[in-house]
């Protein structure tokens, strides 16, 4: 606690300094928009990475409710899903689930005990936008060797709205969202509540029987209640925002096919809170953040009357300052302190960990080029972990044409989780952090053309990103047998290389009869995942892929909008993944199709009504993502939304 107070005092001068310098001459055009602030500044650090951003409107159009849905539907990432509403973990660019960092308003929310997030319980319904970045990122925390997922609350200064969204679907699935946003002068508040539930009692074919028969999924129900609140105010160039999100998720854990249910249940109660103070001057920006994350996970197995309660808390304080010079140069610095506490019946005592970090970045931004150099230093329990540099850049390849060549490179690391270090039995406090070198280079473009005809105007848009990436991660931590127990060890050196390609095409025709739009989005990811070295003698996995990493992922979405009608169809094809280190057994490819039809009716006073139906797994494909965990066949969801 003393250190916490000390850090607060340490940051105060920076805040004061930033206020004093606010009378610098204005050169910066990045001033607060009248409508929206709280663009969470750290996003800017990842602009040079391959990244995609989705607004709440994008997500609601597609009936996306969770980060798991989002990644499966739209992203270049792969999701290992244990079934509808089951545990879902991400894999970006061939890395593991704990190489993807998930942030809520800038707070790292990956479990400090497990090192990863369960994407199913991360609701996107209460976020205003979600961003996915691909590739190593050093700016916020260490460990993002694969990529980052970021959920944010925005503050709108000049808009007020009430939203009611309701969905009803197959297998007793319902979802209700209510959100109120209100702005009065320089004061804003918003509150939102979401309730999701599903019985998940879908039919599946049990193929573990000699004569396969149809069964009903048992013990797979899911419910979630989420509550979000944000208040914000601004005075001149100063803003303050306080946000909080509470989620309470309960779910039953089904067994695999052929195994009787044991009635296992899991509950996750998460509390996130953040206070952001932001100052935006002409030549200096500053953001001070205080954050709190509490994760509580309870597991219960009634068949053996076993209960386990694990919880962790994290306090964070950080200051992020950016100074613009009178040249193309700017300097950013971010100092952060993170204090972690965790408790579990499998720890000898409550565990505490303290992480102090500094991230500095110098940037040179000109009209046709951008270059940056960054350096991260981190101290864990007052011991230095090392220096982690990063470079990035982009150049415009053809003058006056928006075709950019971008590149990034960095050295990154992931510290062992608290379970890796302290779990009894097996925890290994001699573990070294995983370290990696990651790089990517790619082309991106954003082309828009307008053509006018007699009674219409045609707008064609094309955006594409083609990125080639490479990473090599050493000291890869795996839990391996060690005598009577399993214990984590630094076992492997893993190389990932590949290609991400995404293309968005759209053609909009505006005429006096109304507007029409046809859009096509494609994404393809190729991942060559190879184990280069292993401490295991005679490891048959050397030269082979790790488990559950697909080599090919292809997703597409076609949407057609005419007047108030929108038709969307899409599919996510995932290639085979291996089930053993020698790559002898595998899960075959799958590619469920979805189809959405919706109609929007807008009232002249801004009120709107939207009705739609989504058909998941349109072709009733029988598939599994994880072995013997069936996914539902064709199913429906009726969606309604009133906005005024």
Partner 1 sequence: MKYLIFILSTVTIFGCTKKEIGPQHINEPLFAGQKVLVLNEGNFGWGNASISAYNPNQNRVANGIFSSVNNVPLGDVCQSGIRWNTSYLIVVNNSNRIEILDSTNLESIGHIDCMGSPRYLLPARHERAYVSDLYSGLLGIVNLDNYQLVDSIPVPGWVENLIYGNDFLYATCPNDESVICIDTTFNAVIQSIDVGIVATSVVKDRNNQLWVLGLGSGATSAHLLCIDPSTNTIITNFEFPEFEAPTQLKINGTGEELFYLNNGICRMHISDNELPSNKLITGYGQNNYGLSINPLTNEIYLTDAKDFIQPGSLFRFSQNGQLIDSVDCGIIPQAVIF
Listing DSSP states for 230-292 in one string gives: EEEEEETTEEEEEEEEEEEEEEE----TTS-----EEEEEEEEEEEEEEEE-SSEEEEEEEEE
Complex with partner 1: residue 392 or 488, whichever CB lies closer: 488
Strands 187-198 and 88-91: unpaired
What is the rounded CA–CA span in Å between residue 618 and residue 569?
10
Q: Which two tokens stand for residue 467?
A: 């990125």
CB 52 within 8 A of CB 131: yes
Task: Summarize as ranges the residues that interact with partner 1 (CB under 8 A).
Answer: 207-210, 255-260, 303-304, 478, 480-481, 483-484, 491, 518, 536-541, 547, 556, 558, 560, 567, 569, 571, 573, 579-582, 584-589, 591, 593, 595, 618-619, 621-624, 627-628
Q: What dihedral angle (degrees, nearest 10) is formed by the CA atoms of 19, 24, 27, 28?
A: 0
Question: Shortest Cβ distance from residue 260 to partner 1 (Å)?
Answer: 6
CB of 342 to partner 1, least distance (A): 25
Q: Which tokens belong to 91?
A: 């894999």
Q: Which is nearer to partner 1, 337 or 541 (CB)?
A: 541
Q: How far apart are CB 621 and partner 1 at their closest, in Å?
A: 7
Minimum distance of partner 1 from residue 124's CB (angstroms): 25
As measured in angstroms, the least distance from the Cβ of 398 to partner 1 is 32
Minimum distance from CB of 525 to partner 1 (Å)?
16
CB of 614: closest distance to partner 1 in angstroms?
Answer: 14
* Euclidean distance between CA atoms 434 and 494, whole angstroms: 11
Alpha helices by DSSP H, 313-434: 418-422
Residue 441 vs 569, nearer CB to partner 1: 569
The least CB distance from residue 429 to partner 1, in Å, is 17
Distance CA 411, CA 415 (A): 13
How far is it, in rounded angstroms, from Cα 116 to Cα 110?
A: 5
Q: Which are the contacts of 155, defined by CB distance < 8 A and separation ≥ 6?
A: 36, 37, 38, 188, 190, 230, 232, 239, 241
The residue among 443 and 579 lying less far from partner 1, judged by its C-beta, is: 579
Longest dimension (CA), the chain: 80
For partner 1, the closer of residues 209 and 387 by Cβ is 209
**Could you give phi then psi for residue 429, rounded to 5 degrees?**
-80, 5
Task: Please give the Cα distance from 617 to 635 (Å, whole number).
Answer: 7
Smallest distance from the beta carbon of 592 to partner 1, in angstroms?
8
List the beta bridge partners of residue 434: 414
Nearest CB to partner 1, comparing residues 205 and 446: 205
Whose Cβ is closer to partner 1: residue 86's or residue 273's?
Answer: 86
DSSP string, 332-357: EEEEEEEEEEEE-TTSSS-EEEEEEE
Are 317 and 7 contacting, i.e. CB atoms less than 8 angstroms apart? yes
- Judged by beta carbon, residue 415 or residue 546, the one nearer partner 1 is 546
For partner 1, give the closer residue by CB, 351 or 531.
531
């Amino acid at each position: 606690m003393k250190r916490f107070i000390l850090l607060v005092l340490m940051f105060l001068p920076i805040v004061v300094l930033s206020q004093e310098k606010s009378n610098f001459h204005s050169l910066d055009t990045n001033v607060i928009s009248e409508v929206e602030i709280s663009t969470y500044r750290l996003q800017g650090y990842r602009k040079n990475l391959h990244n995609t951003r989705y607004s709440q409107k994008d997500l609601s159009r597609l009936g996306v409710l969770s980060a798991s849905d989002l990644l499966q539907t739209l992203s270049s990432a792969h999701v290992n899903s244990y079934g509808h509403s089951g545990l879902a973990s991400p894999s970006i660019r061939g890395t593991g689930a704990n190489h993807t960092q998930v942030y809520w308003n800038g707070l790292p929310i990956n479990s400090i005990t497990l090192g990863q997030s369960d994407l199913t319980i991360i609701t996107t319904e209460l976020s205003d936008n979600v961003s996915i970045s691909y590739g190593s990122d050093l700016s916020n925390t260490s460990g993002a060797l694969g990529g980052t997922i970021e959920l944010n609350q925005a503050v709108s200064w000049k808009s007020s709205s009430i939203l009611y969204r309701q969905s009803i679907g197959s297998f007793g699935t319902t979802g209700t969202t209510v959100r109120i946003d209100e702005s009065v002068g320089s004061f804003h508040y918003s509150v939102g509540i979401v309730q999701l539930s599903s019985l998940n009692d879908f039919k599946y074919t049990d193929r573990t029987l000699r004569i396969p028969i149809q069964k009903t999924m048992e013990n797979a129900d899911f419910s979630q209640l989420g509550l979000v609140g944000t208040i914000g105010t601004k005075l001149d160039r100063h803003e303050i925002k306080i946000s909080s999100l509470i989620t309470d998720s309960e779910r039953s854990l089904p067994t695999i096919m052929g195994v009787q249910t044991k009635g296992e249940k899991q509950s996750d109660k998460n509390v996130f809170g953040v206070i952001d103070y932001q100052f935006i001057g002409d030549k200096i920006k500053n953001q001070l953040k205080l954050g709190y994350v509490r994760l509580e996970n309870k597991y219960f197995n009634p068949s053996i009357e076993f209960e386990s309660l694990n919880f962790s808390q994290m306090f964070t304080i950080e200051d992020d300052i950016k100074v613009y010079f009178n040249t193309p140069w700017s300097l950013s610095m971010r100092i952060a302190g993170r204090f972690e506490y965790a408790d579990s019946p499998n720890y000898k005592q409550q565990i505490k960990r303290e992480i102090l970090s500094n991230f500095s970045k110098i940037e040179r931004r000109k009209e046709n080029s951008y270059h940056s150099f960054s350096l991260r230093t981190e101290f864990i329990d007052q011991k230095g972990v090392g220096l982690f540099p990063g470079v990035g850049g982009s150049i415009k390849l053809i003058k006056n044409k928006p075709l950019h060549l971008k590149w990034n490179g960095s050295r990154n690391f992931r510290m062992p989780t608290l379970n890796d270090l302290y779990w009894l039995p097996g925890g290994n406090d001699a573990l070294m952090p995983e370290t990696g070198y990651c790089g990517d280079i790619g082309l991106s473009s954003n082309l828009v053309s307008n053509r006018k005809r007699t009674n219409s105007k045609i707008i064609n848009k094309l955006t594409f990103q083609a990125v080639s990436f490479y990473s090599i991660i050493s000291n890869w931590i795996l839990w391996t047998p060690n005598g009577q127990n399993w214990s984590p060890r630094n076992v492997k050196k893993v190389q990932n290389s590949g290609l991400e390609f995404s293309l968005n095409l759209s053609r909009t025709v505006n005429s006096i009869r109304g507007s029409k739009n046809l859009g096509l989005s494609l994404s393809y990811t190729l991942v060559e995942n190879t184990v280069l070295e292993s401490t295991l003698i005679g490891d048959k996995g050397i030269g082979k892929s790790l488990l559950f990493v697909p080599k090919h992922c292809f997703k597409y979405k076609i949407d057609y909008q005419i007047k108030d009608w929108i038709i969307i169809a899409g599919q996510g094809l995932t290639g085979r993944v291996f089930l053993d280190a020698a790559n002898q057994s595998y899960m075959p490819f799958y590619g469920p199709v979805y189809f959405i039809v919706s109609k929007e009716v807008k009232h002249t006073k801004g009120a709107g009504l939207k009705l739609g139906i989504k058909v998941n797994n349109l072709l009733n494909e029988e598939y599994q993502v994880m072995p013997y965990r069936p996914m539902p066949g064709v199913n429906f969801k009726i969606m309604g939304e009133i906005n005024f």
